[in-house]
Amino acid sequence: MSSFLSTPVESKVEEDIEYNNICQKHNLLLQTLPKGNGWRVQHLYNYNGFWLNPNTVKNNLLLHTYFKSLPTDIVLVAFMKSGTTWLKALMFSTLNRDCYTFSNHHLHNHGPQSTFPFLDCESYPITDFTSISVNPRLFATHYAYTLLPACIKSGKIVYVCRDPKDVLISKWHFMSKLRSKDLPPLLLDSAFELFCQGESEYGPFWEHVLSYWSASLEFPEKILFLKYEDMKKQPEVVVRKLAAFMGKPLTADEEKRGVVMDIVKLCSFENLSNLEVNKKGLEKFGRLVEVEKQDFFRKGEIGDWKNYLSEEMKERVDTITNEKFVGSGLRLGATV
């Protein structure tokens, strides 16, 4: 991870005309964009239909300006708390299955979040990631499809979605931990209301999912659309799909040797959450965000929302989901 992190060099920032122009554009933009309530920071801004925190708006401008994609890139996308950590581990270990043994694996000593870069965080000096020599390069982002630079859309994308009720509960727990100490705690009732109105980082949830669902129907060879619930039910099916999609299908010999189950076990919630490397320390994202590694592992279950949401709340989310997804052909929940 450290290879793509940059040390802030404030004096250099002042001399960088292109970067300063973007900062200026960002400041002006924030004055004009609709403002909403943040979960982690005080305000979110509605940028081209999606609620982002101010730094994520800025980073979207930076991404559009600086990111140099390669046709072989594969980008993992998910709405927050929908399965990024798990898929990072699965994609990394599936793609690099010839580089490590399963008894002495990179993931035993490195958190899944550090296996490949997250594109939504600002680092300075700006990196265009051209120094990454592995092929294909893997990246991750939470941006909606319409907010991605065109060059990313021309490569391959793995998208994962999850039941919005579980996403809401997972996100509320996670954001409550990261929430600025200067703000009052975010009560679940308030988070629920904001989520239903679409007002949460990278939201609205439903438009985010639909943006990738529609694109996956249009470009099925470019976008692999997965569901967290399918992954829980039959992870081995997902590993095979991922391997083929990433251009490295499982061979008959690998199948015989049980490589699929090795990957599944390595990346399971039980295994990863019990590794020392995932229990302590901080994961750094760009120069501004740090997260306790253990906060990426909470319960890893389907249906934990039942412990938090009333029947009425469940009905409200399900009704929104049905109304938003009607006619799209998308059904949430396990399909395999």
Q: Angle CA(209)–CA(211)–CA(213) in degrees, nearest 5?
A: 65
Q: How far is the CB of 300 from ligand PAP (least distance, A)?
A: 3
Measured CA distances, 184 to 16, 41, 116, 189, 211 (Å): 37, 11, 34, 14, 33
Residue from 62, 272, 320, 332 that binds ligand PAP (CB under 6 A)? 272
Instruction: Judge contact between 121 and 143, C-beta under 8 A.
Output: no
Q: How far is the CB of 254 from ligand PAP (least distance, A)?
A: 21
Backbone dihedral angles phi then psi of residue 29, each to the nearest 5 degrees = -60, -45
Q: Judged by CB under 6 A, which stretch of 35-43, 165-173, 204-212, 251-259 contacts ligand PAP?
A: 165-173
Convert residues 289-318 into a mask of x (bound to ligand PAP by CB under 6 A) and - (unbound): -------xxxxx---x--------------
Backbone dihedral angles phi then psi of residue 110, each to the nearest 5 degrees = -135, 135
**Which residues, 6+ apart, have CB-to-CB distance to 135 below 8 Å?**
70, 72
Site for ligand PAP in 166-205 (CB under 6 A): 166, 170, 173-174
Q: Is 213 in the site for ligand PAP (CB under 6 A)?
A: no
Q: Which of 105, 110, 142, 173 is catalytic?
A: 142
Q: Is 57 in the site for ligand PAP (CB under 6 A)?
A: no
- Report the chain's terminal Cα–Cα distance, integer Å: 34
Place of tokens 């690998």: 254
26 classed as catalytic: no
Q: Is 230 in the site for ligand PAP (CB under 6 A)?
A: no
Q: Is 83 in the site for ligand PAP (CB under 6 A)?
A: yes
Contacts with ligand PAP by CB under 6 A lie at 78, 80-86, 166, 170, 173-174, 267-269, 272, 296-300, 304
Residues marked active site are found at 142
